[in-house]
Structure 1
Amino acid sequence: EPREGTVLTVISVAATTAAAHADDPPGDLVRAVADRAAEALDRTTDQLPELASAGVVDAGARGFLVLLDSLVAVITGVSARRRRYRGSLMGGGRPGHPDDATCSGSSEMDFEVMYLLDGAAGEHIGALRDELDRIGDAVVIVGDSSSGDGERFSVHVHTCEPGKAVQAGLAAGQMSDIRISCFALDAIRSQVDSAEPPPRYKRAIVAVVKGQGAAALFADAGAAVVRADGGVSTDILAQAIRDTDAAHVIVMANGAMTSQDLVSVAADVRSQQRSVVSLPTLSMAQCLAALAVHDPGESADADAYAMAEAAAGARWGSLRRAEGRMMTLAGTCEVGDILGLIGSDVLVIAPDQTEAATALLDLMLATGGEMVTVLAGSEVDDAALDALAEHVRRNYAGIELSVYATGQGDDLIQVGIE
């Protein structure tokens, strides 16, 4: 029973547009199709009462637009920019549902029944559909003859009489893979685990750091600190997240863990009462920039976005001692040389820390900056730090310099530019 305001409406508009622009160059064709589909998507809210009540566009149609926009990006190399599609809050209750709202368009059945059916003749499928329509709703029967062993049908129905739905299938053919789900039980299982107490705090920040000074610095900035001087395991990070006892946790591993490990940790500790967001910070300098804009008074999503934006906007570099002879973008280095890196690229090779530090800073400030933050490791020379401060004073008037003794053992210094 097709209805206007669903993905079918948007597909129809896309097909009509494609036919009208069939003779256009491919780039113009796909752009026209995607733009008309976006306009049709916006209209779905007014076409279906359920969508109007919830204040949202049709989800399937939105997904179809994602596919069209991806097609545009592949063919033209330019990604379309769309508005954010968000639901509205109505009546102070759940999103899109006033407290006195009724669900007139949804199923009132208690069970979902699905099974596969083999060896059924066409007239048997017609009779099966009639019987399932009589005892339930949301009936879907799809045939598949790709296996070459005759047609197999996938059957789906919502009903209060699951036994009769199965009996109807038995009368039509050979059944397999029978699945019966109870909506009430699914709802109970999806509820918050009563064994897990509600969190005490709304929000927390977990920062993975190296060095005793860094631990104190980030703790003073409000973060729960995990030391990674000798490496850090997923189990340790997961426990640190749980120990925050917070409903929303932002994690910054600062290059100490792989992205796969961070995804694994987040999946392990996420629950009905705890959300976890990992910001892709690769250095403590980026982490410090993110913490500077952290605002507990903001909404969790807005706060995480602002922190991610600040971290991404902070250019960072480091000094390290070469442990072997190797080719770099700056030439060939020898054992013991001081390397200046911007991100992960070696752009400076110098015989001593002072020359390397000033050369690295000049490169990083070539594109501008207002504030320089230096995180000093345990092996850095005091003379190099003094020379760096003097270099900023003489050559970069108006730029603020902050130096923190963080004590990390791998980088001689980390430099952040904002």
Structure 2
Amino acid sequence: MQLLESLPNQLPDAVPEQLRTALEDMVKQLEIQESNFSIRHRDYKPLELPAEVVERFGQLSLDLQKKYLSLQLRSFLYGLYYNGSLKDALALNGDSDDLTLHQNLENNTYLGIDLKFYQRLDESNTGEGYFDPDWLVLSLESDGTMAVNKGGLTLHIQPEEHLQPEAQSPAVGDEVAVLLPPNLVQNGFYMAVGNLGTYDHGHPDSEGEIVRIYFNLTPEGAVAVMGSLTQQLNQISVPFSFKVLYNPEDYNRYDSGVLYFDNNDYEAVRLVLGKVYTENQSHFKPEVPLFTKFLAPGLGLAEEPDQKFADQESFGMNRCQIVANGLLEAHHKGDDSPEARMAAILQQFSLLEIELQQCYLNAKSEDIYTPLDL
């Protein structure tokens, strides 16, 4: 009884119930086994490696072994607690194989693109393309085309189709803005790009934060929301990008869609989201990713982390790494008690000056993110 009373007392009163419940479950139920790099939870199958892989990893330096264990723990937290993508695969009565368990949990590209579903998403995207700046003109060809380069990528373009009207006669060495398509393919996602470009195009000198809003949608909902959201955001001239999973079988996670924009545009985006949500409410599932701010059932918000452990690190991986660091610190000190684990996790957030009750914000950020009016 003393344990049940002491754990909640370690957490600030304002910590959301979803996060409180998840953290208490982590510190009580998780078992870290360094000898075979496995992570265990009594209600799920273990996340573990084949014996021959464990043997090979055992020959690595202790530093590399610790780094891999940290990544393994982070992935477990991410898939089980953050977005639920591992819950079905690790269910005690479920069917799973090593391919499912050891895929990159953010980049589900091994299943390939569902071409019919991809086409439906593309047809729903109302974007017309956007002018991307800072392309260097390399050459002017005799057939009227020109070669332009940016970031190591060279394109051959038609000036009358791909350049702005006032800039269709550039000289070699000039920089021009090139019209790019309204869509990208990115790490298992179909991504729509707004007519003013991505979130950083419209505010190149902004001191605002990049904001992510996570959508927990059905596949049909992704198609419907793609249409209404791109139409309404382009109508009010907000730079944004919006991505959804391109394989319908992957929609067993709380972040099947993500909208990115500058927080200076939050109030305008919030009004649009209210309309889009009301129109498509039946397509939203109730859960939101862990650590995010609840805006409505199936809609969670977070700022782009400004203190990352790796260059290519999402918000969810960042917050799961903070928790993993705390759990491993307690483990390496030889105290895996729930109280020691919770104290170590709280210390990790404190070191980064992230308030646990508002861990969707960066350190010292102001919470300007009013939930939807429903």
Provide the TM-score with structure 1 as the length reference.
0.17
Q: Which has the higher strand share?
A: 1
Provide the TM-score with structure 2 as the length reference.
0.19
Rg larger for: 1
